[in-house]
Structure 1
Amino acid sequence: MGSCSTWAWQELLVLLSSLWLWVGSAQPTPPGPTHASGPQLKFRLAGYPRKHNEGRVEVFYNDEWGTICDDDFTLANAHVLCRHLGFVAATGWAHSAKYGKGVGRIWLDNVNCAGGEKSIGDCKHRGWGNSDCSHEEDAGVICKDERIPGFKDSNVIETEQSHVEEVRLRPVVSGARRQLPVTEGIVEVRYKDGWAQICDEGWDSQNSRVVCGMMGFPAEKKVNRNFYKLFSERQQLNYRLHSVSCTGTEVHLSMCTFEFYRGNASAACGAGMPAVVSCVPGPLFATGNAHKKKQRQQQQGQPRIRLKGGAKVGEGRVEVLKNSEWGTICDDRWNLLSASVVCRELGFGSAKEALTGARMGQGTGPIHMNEVQCLGTEKSLWSCPFKNITQEDCKHTEDAAIRCNIPYMGYENLIRLSGGRSRFEGRVEVAVGTGNGDQPRWGLVCGEGWGTLEAMVACRQLGLGFANHGLQETWYWDASNVTEMVLSGVKCAGHEMSLSHCQHHSASLNCKNTGTRFAAGVICSETASDLLLHAPLVQETAYIEDRPLHMLYCAAEENCLSSSARLANWPYGHRRLLRFSSQIHNNGRADFRPKAGRHSWVWHECHRHYHSMDIFTHYDILTPNGTKVAEGHKASFCLEDTECEEADVAKRYECANFGEQGITVGCWDLYRHDIDCQWIDITDVKPGNYILQVVINPNFEVAESDFTNNAMKCNCKYDGHRIWVHSCHIGDALSEEANKRFEQYPGQLNNQIS
């Protein structure tokens, strides 16, 4: 009877296991607490713990703590590990030591779980302790914040560092309204339902540097301890930490070594006082004219590093300037230490994330650096060891990016959306002061002149990413209690952190149409497209054609010729055309779609296709001083996917048969030189040296993550019969000095970009 019972239970377990494997990959709901099979295993989350349910996975095996390599890591592996830790499932996992590098052995490599295993030891792997990884490949998990009912397992070890998650600076200045950002104050950590202090015995500048980095500041400075000592003697303090010892390169205080107070913490710290920190704000957040002047002096000269493609301040793809040409960084071995050096160099705090895999969109041009290995103490990324990319096989799909800590400014409290179907859209409402100290009142923004650039600033201020649309009328959204217009004439450059930083009418409102119908609105999105022209193709394909007028009737109908063509003796004579091919890539993270819906597309009988945008590209011939002498009237385009960079990227858009129009991420739209209107009419241009300029999406009709790369420029030399086009480049691809040389000497071969 006993053997039959055992056999039956085994059969049942096989059936349950099969059922579990079927549902496990989607959203496993574990049957209960799990325990390791074989040798006793213990688990913990470590590293930079933004939350208690995520971190680097560490496993205790053979009396030693170690990590797991990220090679072949999957969500199914994370499910098993999260259940070990007492959570119902995993929502994600992290690679490349996102939570910092561990120490000791790397116990597991090439782990391959189905998702339903009771123990990580039951999954396929290379064997305990058999690994070819370094700690730069330590895996982490993000677990669903829901505990397994009744989970009590001594195999889960809570690290004390995980209890230091939230840190703040508490200023003690009284009286006037506190000015943001807060740059100085007592360091406090969240403890139970309140805040606790840190004893400053042994506290040094390295500790202060870490705290300032967390608060979004690049550096620390000395503080007047006597002032705070007098304050602390009059306060009842609750000390939580002591003996804090940081190296200065940590991105979070929890990564430093420290000790907790036990027992009566209010009587602790002896003759000490609470730790106090004073931080130096970066140029974007500096207050006071003298301070700003000092910051500007420190940042004189062309910067050699910049961020592109990020929705928020302090995030983006990392680009560096080398030999007067901007390029990107390959993400091999990219980590928080290197990312923090970049963040501080740019005037932000330490890094929150070191992103790989072109998470902020793909860059263009050269890849200047690979395998950057900063110690974290460097003043500039260029001081860090790195490999020259010329010998390496890296693509722009591996461009490195960062997210930096920035100071809290409270801008999101001065704006809100109302009436929309989701939190990403709505009518824009802003808070304005009353001038008499009362609570600010909420009001609407006038829709006149409101466009994509203004919407981008509003979405950034709200923390909702990029702007899909800037709307001048919002009658179709539900009305709110707010009906008064309080802001008009808003004009933004697109990079501002708040609408209050944009130009706008002063105290007096100037809005022709008032009321909720004509109030400004936005539709925000977490991702955006990014168009840019393939500059070398323009240079390779440019030539002159004298085209007979009798072959240009369609082009004239579409306004593709210069205005003097109307005075020509049709159908006799010809027009001189500068022809070239345009290959427009979408390197962003969202498809590029025309602003207008298909119901408003315009049918052109001559060319027999629909045009989805009135103005998509400007083609211009400019003199050295910027005067326009000829322009291409490529009034509108038929947008479609001609080719895609990777074989596994599917084309989505095709103009034929009234199809959908757009450009898919990773694809391009090619307009060959022999297509009508793919030219500039230079019939009236005199011989000389010129600049050929092409601008995509010139009126910012469609939102992009980066508008600064929408222009392309070339040098032209025209002798009246032939034309030489050379030195073509994206508008922001060169240093300021190289761009000045380019514009100063058009027509002169500019081979020395240095």
Structure 2
Amino acid sequence: TICDDQFDMKDAAVVCRMLGSKGNVHLATVEGVYGGGTGRIFYDELQCIGSESSLEQCTSDSFHDCTHTEDAGVVCDSDSVKFRLVGGSDANSGRIEVNLNGLWGTVCDDEFNTAGAKTVCKQLGLPFAHAYPFNFGPGSGSIWLDDVMCTGKEANILECNQTEIGNNDCDHSEDIGVVCTDTVPNLQVRLVGGGRNDEGRVEINTGTGWGTVCDDEWDSREATVVCNMLGFTGGIPRAVSNGFFGQGSGSILMDDVQCFGNETSLAACGFAGFGSHDCDHSEDAGVICHSENSQSLQIRLVGGNNAKEGRVELFFNNTWGTVCDDQFDDREAKVFCRMLGYNGSAVGLGNAHFGQGSGPIFLDDVSCTGNEDSITTCSFAGYGQSDCDHTEDASVICDAGHQNVSIRLVDGKVPNEGRLEVLYHGRWGTVCDDLFDTTNAKVVCRMLGLPTGNAEAVHGARFGSGSGTIWLDNVDCSGTENSIAECRHQVWGSNNCDHTEDVGVRCGSTIESPVRLAGGSTPYEGRLEIFHEGRWGTVCNNGFDATAAKIICNSIGYPSDTPSLMSASGFGTPPSTIWLDGVRCNGNETAIDVCTHNRFGLNSCTHDKDVAIMCRSHGIKCYHCDGLLDPQTCNEQVQCSAGEVCEEAAFIANGETRFSLTCQSKLVCDALQGNVIGRRSIAKRQGQTVQVKCCDTPLCNRNLIDKSSIHGGHGSHGHSTTGCQDDPKMDCNALDGINICANVQAAKIYCPLHCGLCTSP
């Protein structure tokens, strides 16, 4: 059997292809859905791409830690799985139940929404245009499906993305049902708790009483639908969150509402299902249907040294509040300054540069182009919706004039390296290492007039911790900028760092780090490792592609136009360090160091994402002859497969020493040379001596064995199985373990020597 660890739809697709399935639904089942098997468990941690023609082409662990309760299964034909609706008021509604292997089970409501409801209704031949999820009470038995995510275009729910059948983290209180209908459900809406009738907390009534709406996914599109339902069409609808107009009570009737903005009712939008939510009333959603034209938005600057600078505050809902610095930069500052009548240059500052405010934080994630006349026409998270505190209050400096930005490298051992410091508004400060990579380092080196080749970002205050302001964070350059100030970054002075994260830069390095392919059976395949700071480490596969693989193959002397990327799981135990992540090459580089990548040691990977490469799609060439008296007379050559080496075998036939030359699996060669079948065992039973030697360079197998070292042989001709003198079981088990008889050439030589007792596959 196959263990269900890592078993998924890609693995199921390969199994179904091997079985001749032509369908487009290939589903994986886990945890012994079809019962436990018996005998050996052949595969564990099976990982297929999905396009393989056989499971033998997929990667897997050599050993397993499973029992037959974890046997995997597949569904290759969706028609074999039946669906029904149970517990509804009519045939068009009810709890979804699924019949698999003769057993009815349910569907968990995780991720299930109106798109999933439409798909179920469609496949059952029921009205589906305005189908929606609904809870019809708990079912029983197995929970077959979970995390079902449909687009609504699928013909069958089994075509939707989902976890493996039988794999869930639910109980029956989460069983989902559907109402199949072509009519938009009747839905009343009202606004509660506002200072006027066109603002307030959104409450809805489906006919069973009033309840609130959760603010998950709530934005201006949903606000537009609510305002239009109420007839407030003259303003600019705004979404508010986090119980901005007070917390409601009773049921939370809608969650995860997602509208386009042109619907006539919230019930026509996508949502999790009436009554299905993961919220409390602190997340009650609200709307403001009027614009600043009907209630002027007041702003002020507080805490500055003059009228043109300070902390930004807004007067809203009869109280003053602040703005969070998330995404806040000079463009947002320019809009605020324009609202105050200042049309010159503007600088945005974060981290409560002019002191912390108090009261509500009205705006967060503000994003402007810089050309707007009012901050209300920029995008933002929604009035009152933020994940900030007052240490993140945003500030501005209006009519700031042009600010020249200077940089320097400090405390390096040589002039082209050191801690990066920036001079801004007359003060030197540092740069946080968050997101700072090779591309950013090249911009810094260009500013300093230093070579940009092999520029490196050095994280973790390796050149010592600075002091004063941390001016920049989350710097993101494209690589073409002439100044770091032109790169995307958080507002000046806004960061979530301390000086232990001060970034440094090395410019103009010309040293290429050594690389190798480790753990493979040949020098041109294996796990990619790079030597840095005195130790070997691996490379994560994020961003790593065939272009990068070609550079590696060229650099180690095995150039290839078609290198293969492989799973590294079969190449032994990796070193503990993962050196590189996010490697992206354009193809012109001579070494991986020159490619764009995260700084050495910065990654979000585990070793299951280590890069492995096969530089050749085939192996070396070897001499290929059988039964020769003199191996030097062999001139025939054969192209070996990847993972094979050259072999020379000597054996006694009719009292004469004969030689066989061919390709052989490196695994088999290692076993034969290591006496797994053993010269002692064969000689003891049959009076013959067999020598096997292997080599891994092209055409190396004509003179590996010294003919004078072959002893014995008399009396062996015509020996039968009855003449075996010792128990052959151990030897045959050893041969079966390395599957030697699967290789025809090896079988011709070695299987007869074991009295015909070895099993051919």
**Which TM class, normalised by the smaller chain length?**
under 0.3
TM-score by length of 2: 0.22
Q: Which one scores higher on RCO, CA 8 angstroms, separation ≥ 6?
A: 1
TM-score by length of 1: 0.22
